[in-house]
A and B are shown apart, each in its own frame.
Chain A
Amino acid sequence: MSILEGKGVTKYFGGLAAVSNVDFSVEKGEAFGLIGPNGAGKTTLFNLISAAYPVKSGIIRFKDKDITGLKPYKICRMGVARTFQIVKIFPDLPVFSNVLLGLHFGHSSGMSSAEKASLALEYLDFVGLTQVKMAPAKDLTLANQKRLEVARALATGPELLLLDEIMAGLNPTEVSQAMELVNRIREKGITIIMIEHVMKAIMNICQRIMVLHHGEKIAEGSPREIANSEKVIKVYLGEKAHATC
Chain B
Amino acid sequence: MLHVNHINAFYGKIQALWDISLNVHEAEVVALVGANGAGKTTLVNTISGLLRPTSGLIEFLGKRVDDLKSHSIVELGMSHIPEGRMLFPNMSVRENLEMGAYTKRVWKNKHKTLEQVYDLFPVLRARQRQLARTLSGGEQQMVAMGRGLMSNPKLCIIDEPSCGLAPIIVQEMFGIIGSLRSQGIAIFLIEQNVQQTLEIANRAYVLENGRLILEGNSQDLIQEEMIKKAYLGL
Residues of A at under 8 Å CB distance from B?
Answer: 13, 36-40, 43, 85-86, 139, 141-144, 165, 168-176, 197, 199, 235-245
Contacts and interface: CB of A to CB of B under 8 A. Distances in A.
Interface residues of B, number: 39
B221 interface: no
A37 B195 contact: no
A139 B136 CA distance: 25
A143 B160 CA distance: 12
Interface stretch (B51-59, B72-80, B97-105, B225-233): B225-233
Interface in B121-139: 123, 134-139
Contacts of A237: 167-168
Given A168-B163, A171-B194, A242-B196, 4 more contacts: A38-B142, A40-B136, A174-B192, A244-B162
B167 A165 contact: no
Contacts of A235: 168
A144 B230 CA distance: 17
A150 B138 CA distance: 21
Nearest to A172: B233
B196 A37 contact: no
B193 interface: yes
Contacts of A85: 137, 164
Most-contacted residue by chain A among B11, B123, B192, B230 (CB, 10 A) = B192
B164 A244 contact: no
Contacts of A165: 137, 164
A243 B162 contact: yes
A238 B139 contact: no
B182 interface: no
A17 B79 CA distance: 35
